[in-house]
Structures are given as C-alpha cells and as structure tokens.
Amino acid sequence: MTTLLIAEIAGLVGLLLFSAFFSSAETALFSINALHIARIRKRHPAVAVRLEALLATPTRLLSTILIGNTIVNVCSAALGYMILSGLGVSHAEAVAIPVMTILLLLAGEVIPKRIAMRRAVAAASLYARPLAVCIRLFTPARFLLERFGQLFASHLKADGNSLSEDEFLTVVEVGEEEGVLNEEERTMVDGIIRLEESQASDIMTPRVDLTGIDLDDPTLSQMEAVRRCRFHYLPLYRETMDHIEGLLDVPAFLLAGAGDIAAATLKPHFVPENAPLDALLAEFQRENRRIAIVSDEYGGTAGLITRGDIIEEIADDVDNEFSEQRDQIQPIGENQWLIAGDCSIEDVNYELDLELEAEGADRIAGWVTAQMERIPHAGEFTEAQGCRVTVQRVRHQRILLVILEKLPPQETDETEDSP
C-alpha cells in the first residue's frame, strides 16, 4: 500500500467525520429551544450567547451547514473513487457509487443524526464555536447562494406560518402528554378555544332566574329588595324585565347611605343572544364593563351575562355574580350523573362524551322537553341518543334537576330499533 493511498484513506476518514459534523450539527442546533439555552446559560454563559447568535439567523446557519455538507460529500465521493482505482478495482466508477452512498448514509447521516437527537444540548454546545468559524469561512459561497435564491424569492414565499385549529389542538394535546401543560392549564386552553364556538345565550343567567327592582314600587320595597340582594348588580326595570332602565351597583348604593338609587345606577349595555363569547369578552375588557343585558330577537330581555360568566368558561373556579356556585354535572354512580336543568347541552356532551342534540334547545332541560314533546313531571324519564334521562325535580313547569344514565351499546341499539 503506497503512501498516497494511505493519505487518500486518511483523507476519506476525515471527510466522513466532517460530514458527520455538519449533519449532526443541523439536527442538534434545530432541536434545542429557549428552555435548553436557559439551562446552558447557567453553566456556560458564553456558549449560550454563541448559540443565541447562531439561532438568531437560522437561514444563514442552515445555508452554511448545507454548503459545508455538500462540499464534503462531493469530495468524499471523488476520493472514494480514487481509492478504489488505486486498489485496482475493476469498474471503480460503478462500484464507488453504491459504496460511497452507503458510507455517507451511515457515517455521515444516520448515525450522527441519531446521536445528535439524543444528545442535542451537548452537541449544540460543542458545535457552537466551530459553526461560527464555518459561517465566516463560507461567507463568499453563502453570499452567491443567497443572491441566486433571491431570483426565486417571489415564488418561494410561504402562505403563512399560522397554525390551523386542528394543528393547534394537536400541539395542546402533545403539550399535555409531554408535561408542558398540566391538567388545569389544559382545561383553561380548552375553555379559551370553546369561547369562539359559544354564544351569550349558552352561559347567560336566564330571565326567570333574575332578581331586580321595579322602579314603580314604593321606596320602602325597593330598599328591602336591595338589602336582601346577594349580587353585585340589580336590574332596574319598570313593570316587566323587558323594560330595563339601568343596573344598580349594590355595594356603591349601600356604602353611599344616601338612599339615592339614581346616583348608584349604571347605564345598561345590551348584547344579542348570538354574540360570540370571545368577542364579548374582548368588548368587556376594552370598555371596562362587567355586565350586559342579553336581548332576544324581539328586543325583550333574555337574561344577563357578566364578565365572570365568560371567565368561568375558562377557569371553573371563578365566582359567578348572578348564580350560586355549584357543580352542574355531578357523578352519583357508575355511568350516572346528576345534572342541573340549565346545564348546556354542549357542556354535557363535552364532559360526558355524548352527542345529544335537539332542534331549538341548548339546555338539558330543553332536550328532555323536546324528546318527550311536553313538560314532564318529576320521576318521568326518556331514552334517546344513547342515554336515559330521568326528571328529578320540577318547579313551576321548569325542570331543575335530571339524572342522566349512559346506556350500554346493546341496550342503545334495542332502544333505537324498537317501534
């Protein structure tokens, strides 16, 4: 074996090591994130600074790595052919292609990239200084490459880098699985997503549950109503709730002590039943409002909604200003739940993994009435859409509580097939 051949083999080994360096550097550098860099900074501040500088211009970094890897791989292929020719292998050019392809794949791609994936932080820290040198070294070649790429820049513009809804939900799920989000944070993210799909009518305090003051009542009756009030605001109306003229700030009225209702009255703000919750919350924050009156399609009062109602959709433990704090869905046995009649069908479906639906109904009480086609009495039940719902409590023709039981699949099929 001649000295030249030994030198060529040594050169090939060196080129394969350079190929492994560039390939593993690409994987390592683009695998680390801000959290990794923060950890590196605690032990090696200078390394963290270099890594931040490299990742600040990812296009320049990637171009440098690709240029270096391409040069090394081309030189490796040529040197491999020369070595095979020097060894007297017949048809060296045909043999060199598969041999060098396998060598480059194993030694220059697969093995180093796998190692870099498992040791991304260590590899990135080790490669920070050499890559900075390579960036300066390959500046002329990178400059020409970027200039050439600008000729096609108008055709290579991305449509956008925003996530679709499905992609975002996948990111949230992966974040919870990886421990980035805990259960409470995941619940809040889900609540924020649901705001866009929910309307004011879904979470408002309905008109039948409202407590207010008739301005035509005697002053003594009005004062008594204020003293009995457990809420921050009271609607002020004349004759009926359809004619609300203001909202009384109860704490401000009581602290003033002057008995002047007008001085503690806020101008009412009206929103439609179909107002999206995300837009409504933004409006509350923008205009510094805490409460609004929900109007139906005929201009009458459908209910009230507060900022706390909306935030409660995101975080369940926020106090609601117009309703008692309670769990609307409570487990009471295997596949059985006690559900408040004013619980939304959407919440029932989400919590219990059901697909209940009824035309014109958005509450479980409305769903029961739609299935039975009449106002039920306590103790009556209906079976539909994979569950049995028994009316537990009724007051003034209004369903207050129901017991929902999931039916086994076979029982569900028999119920649906029965005449």
* pLDDT score, position 163: 65
Range 83-105 average pLDDT: 83
As a whole number, mean pLDDT of residues 299-325 equals 72
pLDDT higher than threshold 80 for residue 398:
yes
Same domain, 185 and 292: no
Question: Where residue 389 falls among pLDDT bands split at 50, 70, 90?
Answer: very high
What pLDDT sits at residue 157? 56
Q: What angle do CA 278, 283, 288 make, to 5 degrees?
A: 130
Note whether 117 and 9 are same-domain residues.
yes
Q: How many CB atoms lie within 10 A of CB 191?
A: 18
Query: Are 19 and 130 within one domain?
Result: yes
From 270, 288, 314, give the residue that closes a domain.
314
**Cβ(271)–Cβ(296) under 8 Å?**
no
Residues 365, 370: Cα–Cα separation, whole Å? 9
What range defines the domain where residue 304 resides?
200-314
In this structure, the answer to whether residues 51 and 181 fall within a common structural domain is no
The answer to whether position 321 is within a domain reads no
pLDDT computed for residue 317 by the predictor:
46
Does a structural domain hold residue 26? yes
Q: How confident is the model at residue 91 (pLDDT cuts 50, 70, 90)?
A: confident
Q: Please state the rounded mean pLDDT for residues 297-310.
A: 89
Span 267-293, mean pLDDT?
Answer: 91
Instruction: Evaluate whether residue 105 is within a structural domain.
Output: yes
253, two tokens? 């009225």
Same domain, 237 and 293: yes
Q: Is residue 279 part of a domain?
A: yes
What are the contacts of 124-127 at 24+ separation with CB within 8 A? 124/25, 124/28, 124/29, 124/31, 124/32, 124/36, 124/51, 125/40, 125/44, 125/47, 125/51, 127/21, 127/24, 127/25, 127/28, 127/29
Q: SS3 letters for 225-260?
A: HHHHCCCCEEEEEECEEEEEEEEEEHHHHHHHCCCC
Q: Are residues 127 and 102 in the same domain?
A: yes
pLDDT digits (tens, 9 = 90+) for 229-250: 888 889 999 988 999 999 998 8
CA-based R_g, the chain, Å: 35
- CATH number where 305 lies: 3.10.580.10
Residue 272 lies in a domain: yes
| Residue spans of beta strands (DSSP E) within 126-218 | 205-206, 213-214
One domain for residues 107 and 183: no
264 part of a folded domain: yes
Report percent pLDDT > 90 for the chain. Answer: 18
The whole-number pLDDT of residue 5 equals 80
More confident site: 1 or 87: 87
**Total number of domains constituting the chain:** 4
Tens digit of pLDDT for each residue in 135-189?
999 888 888 877 777 776 666 555 555 666 677 778 777 877 777 777 777 777 7
Question: Is residue 108's pLDDT more than 90?
Answer: no
Do 8 and 124 belong together in one domain?
yes
Could you say which of 263, 281, 314 is where a domain stops? 314
Residue 322 forms part of a structural domain: no
Same domain, 31 and 135: yes
The answer to whether position 159 is within a domain reads no
pLDDT for residue 224: 86
Q: Is the pLDDT of residue 319 over 50?
A: no
Return the pLDDT at 333: 84
pLDDT of residue 162: 61
Q: Is the pLDDT of residue 419 over 50?
A: no
**Mean of pLDDT over the chain:** 84
- Give pLDDT tens digits for 336-387: 999 988 888 888 998 888 889 988 888 899 999 999 988 888 889 999 988 9
Q: Please check whether residues 185 and 239 belong to one and the same domain.
A: no
Residue after which a domain boundary falls, among 281, 314, 347: 314
**Do residues 269 and 280 make contact, with C-beta atoms less than 8 angstroms apart?**
no
Pick the range with the lowest mean pLDDT from 110-119, 318-327, 379-388, 392-401: 318-327
Is 90 exceeded by the pLDDT of residue 299? Answer: no
Return the CATH number at 372: 3.30.465.10
> Do 366 and 393 have their domain in common?
yes
Both 34 and 72 in a single domain?
A: yes
